[in-house]
Amino acid sequence: MNEVILDTETTGLSFIDGHKIVEIACIETKDLVATGRIFHKLINPKRTVPEEAFKVHGFSEKFLSDKQIFNEIADEFLTFIKNKKIIIHNAPFDLGFLNGELSSINRKKIDKELIIDSLEIARNKFPGASNSLDALCKRFNIDLSRRTKHNALLDCELLREVYINLLDVKEPKFNLSNNVHERNISKSKDYSKIVVKVSENELKEHSQFLKSELKKNSY
């Protein structure tokens, strides 16, 4: 089974309080090696974007006003994640928004059995420590220089590296500057495939190890 690394940006902290998703990004992987397939959408929330949220991700109400609404991208999103394990950092937050949005348009909710919460894994591994995405990147010496604001696509790339480190899976380091676009998302249309050179034997051993870890750490 392939995996999806997923992240969202929103107008606030809770769907129940009327907040909405403004960005969804997914990176497909196979045994945590990026396949080159992504899903990335900016979304018009059809509501105001509070100043606090704007400071986090930089998406203004005006900027989002000509983007698609969630209903228009839902089917493509559901097709992309179908039959895949979904890796999320702080899964209850993103899943709460995603399932809230899906329920509001009479679509089936995402099954929690498919979710792996990397935050829960980090908390078990490093109890008492800060386990935010930033903190884990610093712990694992992952480059954060371009993360001036929250960006769902960049955060997916960072989370993939963090998750590999959480599982203690060895993999060649990536130069993220070659495969994540800068903030000018409105011009982003295509993303280069990431190629990782590993031997067939290494990939087979990695696959066997990963299957056992995914089953053990499912949300």
Least confident of 24-38, 123-137, 184-198: 184-198
SS3 state at 144: coil
Cα–Cα distances in angstroms (integers) from residue 16 to residues 98, 117, 126, 210, in the given order? 12, 21, 31, 35
Q: pLDDT band at 208, cuts 50/70/90?
A: low
Going by the DSSP 8-state scheme, the letter that residue 22 receives in this structure is: E
CA–CA separation, 162 and 133 (whole Å): 8
pLDDT 10s digits, 57-66? 999 999 999 9
Average pLDDT over residues 16-42: 97
Give percent of the chain above pLDDT 70: 77
Q: Residue 212: what pLDDT?
A: 52
pLDDT 10s digits, 125-176? 999 999 999 999 999 999 998 777 788 999 999 999 999 999 985 554 444 4
| Residue among 46, 47, 28, 41 at smallest CA distance from 75 | 41
Tokens found for residue 87: 């890796």
Q: From start to end of the chain, where are the E strands? A: 3-10, 21-30, 33-42, 85-88, 115-117
CA–CA separation, 78 and 70 (whole Å): 12
Active-site annotation, residues: 150
> 5-27: buried (b, 16+ CB within 10 Å) or exposed (e) per residue?
bbbbbbbbeebeeebbbbbbbbb
Which of the two residues, 89 and 205, has the higher pLDDT score? Answer: 89
CA–CA separation, 192 and 140 (whole Å): 25
φ and ψ of 75, to 5 deg: -65, -40
86 Cβ contact list (under 8 Å, min separation 6)? 3, 4, 6, 110, 114, 115, 116
pTM of this structure: 0.76
Going by the DSSP 8-state scheme, the letter that residue 68 receives in this structure is: B
Tell me the pLDDT of the chain averaged across its residues.
84
pLDDT 10s digits, 85-99? 999 999 999 999 999
Looking at the chain, the number of H-run helices and the number of E-run strands are 8, 5
Domains of the chain: 3-216 (3.30.420.10)
